[in-house]
Structure 1
Amino acid sequence: MRVAVYAIGHEGKWRIRRSLDLRVDVLWWGQRFCATPGSARMVLLSAATALSSAVRLEQRFEPRTEMSGWDPRKWGLWFRERMEEEAGRGMNGDAALGGQALFGGSGEVLHSGTGVWMWDFRQAMPEQVLRLLERPAGPGQAAGALAELGGMSDALVERVSGRSLLAAEVDALLQEMAPGLAGAWHSAAQLASLQGRLALDAGLADAGPRRGGGLLRMGRPRLPRCRRCGSEATGRTPCAACGRADCAYCEACLALGRSRACSLLLRSAARDPAVRAAAGPSTAAVRGRWGLSAAQGDAACAALGFLAEPPRRGSAAPGGRADRPLAPARHARFLLWAVTGAGKTEMIFPLLGAILERGGRVLVATPRRDVVLELAPRLAKAFPDTRIVTLYGGSDERWREGDLTLATTHQLMRFYQAFDLVVIDELDAFPYHNDPMLAYAAEHACKPDGKFVYLSATPPRPLQKEAARGRLPHAKVPVRFHGHPLPVPKRIALKSIEQCLRQPMLLKRLSSHLSLSLERGAQIFLFVSRIRHIDPLVAILRRMLGGVCIEGTSSEDPFRAEKVTRFRRREIRLLVTTTILERGVTVPRSDVFIADADSSLFDEASLVQMAGRAGRSAEDPAGRVVFASPQWTISQKRAVNQIKSMNRIARKNGYL
């Protein structure tokens, strides 16, 4: 995208501005300065400069006292020098224009047949400005005076409030939600930008100075960062919009549209400060209203107390500009550490209700689409009078406005300072875990003085340490709804599955334990670390456990959903699988076996999650969990200790 670039000066103070519709800026500054005492000038530098170059010029601008005495020629020479500096850095999208299209042989700055002009607001409007105002509106622009554009500007800001959208996404939103604005919103956006209600930026931001890294990183080139997801932009491609053969773009968030150095990104923060929950109700009242157990009620009340606390000192003021540095402020956080099967969804109902009742907006983010679809009807039932929007890849509600938004974590990149409360479900799960891009998106989706609640049965170790040291407010729910202790894993020594497949007799010890579970009528999850082990292991176990229906599944299995359904119906008694079923699957009367439990692919969290498939039903709360491996690793020890610790806390608090 190309934009106009101009300088605006008042009482000797100069700024560089850029515009999607220069006519709007002329009318805006003319209305502001023509009747204002003191000197004020507007100088057009370029009618069409690549957005990326215009943004950098504005950000790096250093005003000089002598600029008030410059004529158009001096301004033109200054602009050419800046463009040549950009070309020298190898970052300028239109550097070649610096000595050609922008400048005539006499040194006069030209562009598309029009020269640089200067308007002293104490004098009559120059001829070039009059011609500009008489010219028909260009692509994406709308005709009319500021008063007429004001209504369009209000409508646009209302539609994009709390959003972070590329220009193509704005087009799609308006086509669906405000067809009257579609195709002519650039003028309205420019007016909103001048009013400070909308930030118009390039999709990528400069890398800025390098901090730390030592000598080993000194030779590594700095890369621009994506303003939408915070990732370094490593991609390069020819671009017709700016003319570069190697226009930078972000590969990390490419699935949501190409964020380029020259693409326009609109961001508009919600203007109201974040709402707080009312002073905490009693545990008995919370339990009674929402039907929670004692452990759930205690945890929910602790979280409600956190939501009622005032913003921390140093929290950014609401409605801040969207062109501030990329690193978001750290929000106040609360951890709900609930064992698998504790009913985390029911526990957040009081939290959502406390914010919604005070007119706030809430976001519940979860890593997987299937969880979004499973939670949506439960939330609709709990909050029947609330506007609920569900967002995931392919959702037909992506531009709807909701008081309660339920979304996969990738969808958070389309929001900007929109929510009073952000709830991150399954904090430790793929893809959220260890993905700075999604953490960045989540931080930016929350209002500066809003709050975060994390839900997890297996928080990452750093969060566990923060909680243990008292640095992270938290509540533990150490017991399931049925009030029985968690099954504690037992260990059996077993050679690696790789070796057992070569010598099937080594599996006899495992098969004897499997037989015990089958005899007691249990469904069996048998987790393995490698997809390639599934089929040969299924074949061997079918021979050893004759007459038992045994199947295998993985992420590569097109019949995975069908097999899980048959497993729930007890048509399949033993299911060999990978960690794709470590979460979100509840099968009554289940036992869990983990082969190669010492594998580096199974960390503490993964082992606890897999063990959590057992003992979830009130009819069979003491399911068996077996770790089968040649070695007893630190991850296995930590998983067992975490489960035992939760049982001790539950017993101490009288929850069992």
Structure 2
Amino acid sequence: ACAYCEACLALGRSRACSLLLRTAADPAVRGTAGESTAAVAGRWGLSAAQGDAAWAALGFLAEPPEGGSAAGGRTGWMRPRWGAARRSGTSIAPSRFLLWAVTGAGKTEMIFPLLDSVLAVGGRVLVATPRRDVVLELAPRLAKAFSGVRIVTLYGGSTERWESGALTLATTHQLMRFYHAFDLVVIDELDAFPYHNDPMLAYAAQHACKPDGKFVYLSATPPRPLQREVSRGTLPHAKVPVRYHGHPLPVPRRIAMRSVETCLRQPKLLGPLAAELRRSIDRGAQIFLFVSRIRHIGPLVEILRRRFKDISVEGTSSEDSGRGEKVIAFRKKEIRLLVTTTILERGVTVPRSDVYILDADSSLFDDASLVQMAGRAGRSSEDPAGRVIFASSQWTLSQKLAVNQIKAMNRIAGKHGYLKG
């Protein structure tokens, strides 16, 4: 019997009894440190908070590699410990840095100085994100920022999969193509599906980086193991606690409400929710209405259409083939209220929007997903104080943690003078 890797089939059959060739890695190059926060922010058009974080990350890139577990072996990457270094002997492991930035903080702009610092000294850089649509959105922005750099874009069906470039932009599944190839690996949205809790993708990411290279993680809601490392002071990091417009994050407010399942049988129980929705409608907001179950979308849309005949109400989910068209219509205000699942918790920005999360006490919503959904509100400088409502019958730990995280970021932003006024 000759086993083969089922996870690698898209790249061709890799068999245990066949020859596998891979190159030895050249020593990793080190990026250059930023002259000052002001210089970094000024060159790249960053806010004060963005500039401080980018300057700290540049200092990390300029540091020599640290000792740790070798790239091979069963390290923390093979378990959900998110690459926690285990010091052993004199072996080298890629060093790690976390950019913990609130939703809407402009993470993409913050990595431009980091990419430039490594590319400028002849290094190779990888930017990986879990979703294909994000890759396609980032490609023209990176091409504009680095016009003289050869950029390769990789995703399922990409025509550039055998090409080489100084800067590679890829979905996380494409990282299996590389072995010790990059001086810097940037993982965007490491807490998102499918990267989150997939040991194979974490393993592929580690091996794509040179043993003495550098990792930079980007996240608004880092996994708890990483948060614990930050608290213990064992993970270098920088927090960006404020959005580019300098206003505090909207803090969620709770309204008591029976479960959606119960309300669908007794629509009159939706009264408190309807009153809140009317306030959002009257102020001209677009409304995200998140639910925990796809089966709730259709019946809830019908009830809300009868209740709010003056606006357009639609629903969408991962099973909706017309999801893209509905999101576009929602952005254009042709749809005012969109009932959806966590499929839209990321990547959708609507300038004037309010967020309602029904069954916020559901076990399907952890604190990270609640923070991400809440992050759809208040992203615009014209409407920075969007409303966020947690509708639930119980006040759960996940809801408390989400609110506490948002309040903590606002406190940090105020302490460092990042907030306007």
> Considering the TM-score relative to the shorter chain, is it more than 0.5?
yes
- Residue 403 of structure 2 is aligned with which of 618, 624, 640? 640
Q: How many Å separate the matches in 2 of 1:314 and 1:439?
A: 17
Residue 545 of structure 1: CA displacement? 1.2
In the superposition, relative to structure 1, how do residues 630 and 326 fare at CA in structure 2: closer, same or farther (>3 Å)?
closer
CA contact (8 A) 2:367 2:401 kept: yes
Q: For this pair of structures, how many residues does the alignment match?
A: 404
The aligned counterpart of 1:490 is 253
Aligned pairs (5 A) from 1:512-531:
512-531=275-294
CA contact (8 A) 1:550 1:573 kept: yes
Instruction: Give ranges in structure 1 of 5+ residues lacking alignment.
Output: 1-243
- Residue 504 of structure 1 is aligned with which of 263, 267, 280? 267
Q: How many Å separate the matches in 2 of 1:268 and 1:365?
A: 21
Residue type of the alignment partner of 1:404: L
The aligned counterpart of 2:63 is 309
CA contact (8 A) 1:290 1:350 kept: yes
Residue 546 of structure 1: CA displacement? 1.6
CA contact (8 A) 1:363 1:422 kept: yes
Residue type of the alignment partner of 1:254: L
Greater RCO structure (CA 8 Å; 6+ sep): 2
Residue type of the alignment partner of 1:475: A
Over residues 63-120 of structure 1, what are the superposed CA-to-partner deviations in whole Å (9 max), with x where a residue is unaligned? xxxxxxxxxxxxxxxxxxxxxxxxxxxxxxxxxxxxxxxxxxxxxxxxxxxxxxxxxx
Residue 578 of structure 1: CA displacement? 0.4
**Mapped pair 1:607 → 2:386:** no
Residue 330 of structure 1: CA displacement? 3.9
The aligned counterpart of 2:81 is none
Q: How many Å separate the matches in 2 of 1:473 and 1:263?
A: 41
The aligned counterpart of 1:583 is 346
Residue 508 of structure 1: CA displacement? 1.2
The aligned counterpart of 1:249 is 4
- Residue 274 of structure 1 is aligned with which of 20, 28, 31? 28
CA contact (8 A) 1:416 1:444 kept: yes
Q: How many Å separate the matches in 1 of 2:298 and 2:102?
A: 32
User: RMSD between aligned alpha carbons?
Assistant: 1.4
CA contact (8 A) 1:269 1:418 kept: no
**Mapped pair 1:469 → 2:232:** yes
CA contact (8 A) 1:588 1:616 kept: yes
- Residue 318 of structure 2 is aligned with which of 555, 569, 574? 555
Residue type of the alignment partner of 1:642: Q
Aligned pairs (5 A) from 1:2-401:
244=1, 247-270=2-25, 272-313=26-67, 325=73, 330-401=93-164
Residue 562 of structure 1: CA displacement? 0.3
Residue 281 of structure 1: CA displacement? 1.4
SS of equivalent residue, structure 1 residue 506: helix
SS of equivalent residue, structure 2 residue 22: strand
Q: How many Å separate the matches in 2 of 1:503 and 1:252?
A: 46
Residue type of the alignment partner of 1:303: A
Residue 368 of structure 1: CA displacement? 0.3
CA contact (8 A) 1:280 1:308 kept: no
| TM-score normalized with structure 2 length | 0.94
Residue type of the alignment partner of 1:339: V
Residue type of the alignment partner of 1:277: G
Residue type of the alignment partner of 2:31: A
CA contact (8 A) 2:33 2:55 kept: no
Residue type of the alignment partner of 1:491: R
CA contact (8 A) 2:34 2:40 kept: no
The aligned counterpart of 2:85 is none
Aligned pairs (5 A) from 1:430-445:
430-445=193-208
Over residues 278-313 of structure 1, what are the superposed CA-to-partner deviations in whole Å (9 max), with x where a residue is unaligned? 233111110111000000000000000000101113
Residue type of the alignment partner of 1:255: A
CA contact (8 A) 2:130 2:194 kept: yes
Q: How many Å separate the matches in 1 of 2:204 and 2:153?
A: 17
Residue 326 of structure 1: CA displacement? 6.4
Over residues 565-597 of structure 1, what are the superposed CA-to-partner deviations in whole Å (9 max), with x where a residue is unaligned? 000000000000000100000001000000000
Residue 314 of structure 1: CA displacement? 5.1
Instruction: Give ranges in structure 2 of 5+ residues lacking alignment.
Output: 78-91
The aligned counterpart of 2:304 is 541
Aligned pairs (5 A) from 1:453-464:
453-464=216-227
In the superposition, relative to structure 1, how do residues 563 and 309 fare at CA in structure 2: closer, same or farther (>3 Å)?
same
Q: How many Å separate the matches in 2 of 1:500 and 1:326?
A: 49
CA contact (8 A) 1:534 1:577 kept: yes
**Mapped pair 1:592 → 2:365:** no
The aligned counterpart of 1:622 is 385
SS of equivalent residue, structure 2 residue 153: strand
Over residues 130-162 of structure 1, what are the superposed CA-to-partner deviations in whole Å (9 max), with x where a residue is unaligned? xxxxxxxxxxxxxxxxxxxxxxxxxxxxxxxxx
Q: What is the percent sequence identity of the aligned residues?
A: 80
CA contact (8 A) 2:128 2:171 kept: yes
CA contact (8 A) 1:483 1:655 kept: yes
Residue type of the alignment partner of 2:15: R
Greater Rg over alpha carbons, structure? 1
The aligned counterpart of 1:652 is 415
Q: How many Å separate the matches in 2 of 1:381 and 1:598?
A: 43
CA contact (8 A) 2:66 2:93 kept: no
In the superposition, relative to structure 1, how do residues 340 and 278 fare at CA in structure 2: closer, same or farther (>3 Å)?
same
